[in-house]
Amino acid sequence: MSKIHIKKVRAILTAPAGINLIVVKVETNEPELYGLGCATFAYREKAVACMVEEYLDPLLRGRNVADIEELWQLMNNNAYWRNGPVENNAISGVDMALWDIKGKMARMPIYDLLGGKSRQAAAIYKHAESDTLEGLEERARIFIEQKVRHIRIQLGAFSYGGEAVNLNIPLNSAMGEYYCPDQYVRNTVKMFEYIRKKIGDDVELIHDTHERIPAIQAVQLAKELEQFRLFYLEDILSPEQSEWFKLVRQQCTTPIAMGELFNNPKEWDYLVANRLIDFIRVHVSQIGGLTPARKLAIFCEQFGVRTAWHGPGDLSPVGHMANVHLDLVSRNFGIQEFVGINSILHEVFPGSPTVKDGYIYANENPGLGIDINEELAKKYPCTTKITEWTQTRLPDGSLHTP
Ligand SMILES: [Mg+2]
């Protein structure tokens, strides 16, 4: 068989749902054979596109599409410095596209290439958010009606613990998203009390702290929430404060999920090997794609750690599809976050995963099983603007940092 090689690697930028998405297309010397991968770093989209087109494309042209492991290592080591989010997302775009191509060549979906299905579909969780407890209960009940059995509950978006009240902020403080860690912790405990009482024990509850509180308060929160039997508590500590997970474990059995900010294997190997977390939650493109994520899933399996790949809105449907392929094959699959894909995204990305009764399904097409309508994608251009939501501030006006 003649060698099929990479002809061109390019980035496609589109924002059909108002969020910047970056998809990489790897074209081959076979006219109809190409692959797609997710390289979405929504807040630095031009940097990723530049990395793909100015650096990876010249590096990869003419190379054999079959050698995924070789090409991943080549991309990861080529710039000498490694493991950054721009670089990793760019690598992921190519890596997923190469798996997509391999699947198409083998005429198999990726879940078949990786060993076949362990399950027919992956259980998902949805986000219920409101500034009030009553509103939150209402949101949760909508998901229960839809047969979603795992629900993330948040008072206010991004874990502000509801609307911040009575904050005494110094004069001339900067604009930003103000919140109070103490208020947040108190409101979060009350929230679990209320929701458990109202909706009972049959629903699995998840909560994301978004690293918003000081480390010792994180330990206290995990301990206080133990009584409400969470499915997991997410990001109570920042990656920079991982050592504190030991203390959390000594104090309580609240299941812990961690990882969406991880770039580097050194950020997870200690936590997994010492069983300090229960769910690995990396953003698959952020660690470099399917190749490292598959290795990570198998590593976690050895230590009883389950997967919960990050599945937010700032991820392309191609990335969601990659998550689902991993979910279907992994013995240690835990849960899949899935915020949903609107009808415009379905049009731009034909073959996107579908949801029914609390489960997400892949299709049986070869490769990732998803395509992109590039003409339609062009109608939804990306916009580059200053990211506001990460500019969180504490009651004394200072910027919240991990
Ligand atoms: Mg999160």
Quick: pLDDT tens for 218-260.
Answer: 999 999 999 999 999 999 999 999 999 999 999 999 999 999 9
Counting residues of the chain whose pLDDT is more than 70, the rounded percentage is 98
- Domain 6-108 coded CATH 1.10.10.10: no
| Nearest 10 degrees: Cα torsion 367, 9, 27, 91 | -20
Catalytic (active-site) positions? 160, 210
pLDDT (mean) for 1-10: 88
Q: How much is the pLDDT for 401? A: 87
CA distance 100 to 119: 21
Mean pLDDT on 277-286: 98
Where in the chain are the domains?
6-108, 113-368+384-393
At 177 the pLDDT is: 85
What is the per-residue pLDDT for 199?
96
- CA torsion sign for 238, 240, 241, 245 is positive
**Distance of CA 176 from the midpoint of ligand 1 (Å):** 20
How confident is the model over 168-177, as a mean pLDDT?
A: 89
| Cβ neighbours, 10 Å, residue 172 | 6
Per-residue model confidence (pLDDT) at position 34 = 98
- The per-residue pLDDT for range 62-90, each reduced to its tens digit, is 999 999 999 999 999 999 999 999 999 99
Report which of 306, 310, 245, 246 is spatially closest to residue 279, judged by C-alpha positions: 306
Q: Mean of the per-residue pLDDT values for the chain? A: 96
Given this chain, do its domains 6-108 and 113-368+384-393 carry the same CATH topology?
Answer: no
Task: Give the list of residues 6+ apart from residue 162 with CB closer than 8 angstroms, or none.
Answer: 131, 132, 155, 156, 183, 187
Between the CA of 226 and the centroid of ligand 1 the distance, in Å, is 19
- For residue 137 the two structure tokens come to 């209960």
Distance between CA atoms of 22 and 283, rounded to whole angstroms? 14
SS3 of 112, please? helix
Region 326-332: what's the mean pLDDT? 98
Give 118 Cα–ligand 1 centroid separation in angstroms.
26
- Rounded percentage of the chain residues whose pLDDT exceeds 90: 93
CB of 313 within 8 A of CB of 339? yes
Extract long-range pairs of 112-118: CB within 8 Å, 24+ residues apart.
114/294, 114/325, 114/326, 114/329, 115/329, 116/329, 117/328, 117/329, 118/328, 118/329, 118/330, 118/331, 118/333
Q: How far is the CA of 3 from the centre of ligand 1 (A)?
A: 42
Instruction: Classify domain 113-368+384-393 at the CATH class level.
Output: alpha beta
User: Measured between alpha carbons, how far is 258 from 93 in angstroms, rounded to an integer?
Assistant: 23
The tokens of 356 are what?
Answer: 């029914």
Residue 402: pLDDT band (50, 70, 90) is: confident
Tens-place pLDDT, residues 343-374: 999 999 999 999 999 999 999 999 999 999 99
**Cα of 336 from ligand 1 centre, angstroms:** 12
Its pTM surpasses 0.85: yes
Structure tokens at 367: 């490769």
- Binned at pLDDT 50, 70 and 90, residue 156 comes out as confident
* Confidence at 53, pLDDT banded by 50, 70, 90: very high
Task: Please report, for residues 51, 307, 321, 350, the alpha-carbon distance to residue 286 in angstroms, rounded to integers and kept in the order given.
Answer: 14, 15, 15, 24
| Distance (Å, whole) CA 319 – CA 39 | 8
- 166: confidence class by pLDDT, cuts 50, 70, 90: confident
Phi, then psi, of 263 in degrees rounded to 5: -115, -25
Looking at residue 162, its pLDDT comes to 64
